Amino acid sequence: MTIVEIKNLTFTYKGNDEPSLLDINVEIREGEFVLITGPSGCGKSTFCRLLNGLIPHFYSGELKGEVRVLGMDVRKTPTYELARYVGMVFQDPENQLFLSSVEKEIAFGLENLGLPPSEIRERVEQVIAYMGLENLRDKAPFELSGGQQQKVAIASVLAMQPKILVLDEPTANLDPYSSLELLDIVTRLNREEKITVILVEHRLEALLDKVSRLILMDKGRIVLDEHPREAVLNPKIKIVGVPKVIEVYERLKKIGYNFNNPPLSPEDLSNMVHEMVDLHGRHSRRS
Ligand code: ADP
């Protein structure tokens, strides 16, 4: 099922001469895990803002074309309605968290939906258990580390049971360990909970083997939209830098080693090299 449908979309912020998104055509199916990448200023955040109606409801400008999320035209659908289906997590969790405890933070959106208190309690408990937040439930979000805050931000949107999770550079302010932990949680949500994930990230290496699709943007346009296995071999990937594992793969190919597929993670590469060494060993034993 198509969950996001964008047709011939061009968007120019009010006051700007140049469009920030230009002739975007994209369809995202339910269950996909889409990685969006591209240089700073290429339009990634603007793209995310379309998906929950922040554009055009909060950011005004000229919107040409069509954006449908779960069949709803974002122009005609209020943001509170879209928020039930599209969960948004931003770079800076501090701006998203403002209540006095983690528990209250997670319950907030549900209270706004007017759900019965018993259901709110049940959903809050479920999410706290899923995200491993038991020890933090009574803490104020401002007392938490960046990684913990980001987990709470995800927990708050998860409680709404969204169909789509949109994360705009969620690891930008996190240390390497918390970043990987967060990306693991997001991967789990896609694989286990079947939530469609749209993730803006620069850390390609940590995600290539997890995502089902890589969208590369440049100057407001989508310039590449492929499975990571094809995308990493496309020369356009140089716009964001060729992943290290692919550099090694290319060098090995140049000196005559051929593999079926490019490696999408250091583990992939290590397995390939092991196989190569084994094979080489067998050949030399035979000769
Ligand atoms: P990215 O997320 O890839 O860094 P953005 O979507 O933030 O890119 O920005 C794309 C372009 O839109 C940039 O030229 C930026 O200056 C412009 N832009 C972003 N937000 C606004 C805004 N609120 N008002 C006017 N221009 C904006």
pLDDT number for residue 283: 62
Tokens of 45: 């955040």
Q: Is 240 in the pocket of ligand 1 (CB under 6 A)?
A: no
Is 95 strand, coil or helix?
helix
Domains belonging to the chain, first-starting first, are 2-236 (3.40.50.300), 243-287 (no CATH)
Tokens of 191: 């694989």
Residue owning the nearest CA to atom 21 of ligand 1 = 13
Following DSSP, what letter does each residue of 184-234 receive, concatenated?
Answer: HHHHHHHHTT--EEEEE-S-GGGTTTT-SEEEEEETTEEEEEE-HHHHTTS
Hey, which residues does 197 pair with through a beta bridge? 33, 165
Confidence of residue 286 (pLDDT cuts 50, 70, 90): low
Q: Is 19 in the pocket of ligand 1 (CB under 6 A)?
A: no
Dist CA 281 CA 74 (whole Å): 60
With 80 as the cut, is the pLDDT of residue 121 above it? yes
Residue owning the nearest CA to atom 6 of ligand 1 = 43
Residue owning the nearest CA to atom 12 of ligand 1 = 20
E-state strands within the chain:
2-13, 21-29, 33-37, 61-69, 72-73, 86-89, 164-168, 196-200, 213-218, 221-226
**Closest to 173 in 3D by CA, of 95, 109, 59:** 95
Amino acid letter, residue 8: N
* H or E segment to which residue 169 belongs: none
In this structure, is the dihedral angle defined by the CA atoms of residues 118, 102, 157 and 54, taken in order, positive or negative?
Answer: positive
Cα–ligand 1 centroid distance for 286 (angstroms): 61
Cα–ligand 1 centroid distance for 224 (angstroms): 20
Angle among Cα 153, 157, 160 to the nearest 5 degrees reads: 155
Q: Is 41 in the pocket of ligand 1 (CB under 6 A)?
A: yes
What is the tens place of the pLDDT at every residue in 152-175? 999 999 999 999 999 999 999 889
What is the tens place of the pLDDT at every residue in 215-266? 999 999 999 999 999 999 999 999 999 999 999 999 998 988 888 889 999 9
pLDDT number for residue 243: 94
Amino acid letter, residue 126: Q
Q: Is 46 in the pocket of ligand 1 (CB under 6 A)?
A: yes
Residue owning the nearest CA to atom 10 of ligand 1 = 43
Cα–ligand 1 centroid distance for 44 (angstroms): 8
Mutate-to-test residue for ligand 1 from 13, 59, 240, highest number of ligand atoms within 8 A of CB: 13
Tell me the pTM: 0.94
Cα–ligand 1 centroid distance for 82 (angstroms): 22
Q: Is 48 in the pocket of ligand 1 (CB under 6 A)?
A: no
Residue 43 CB neighbour total at 10 angstroms: 23
Cα–ligand 1 centroid distance for 59 (angstroms): 11
pLDDT number for residue 257: 83
Dist CA 86 CA 70 (whole Å): 10
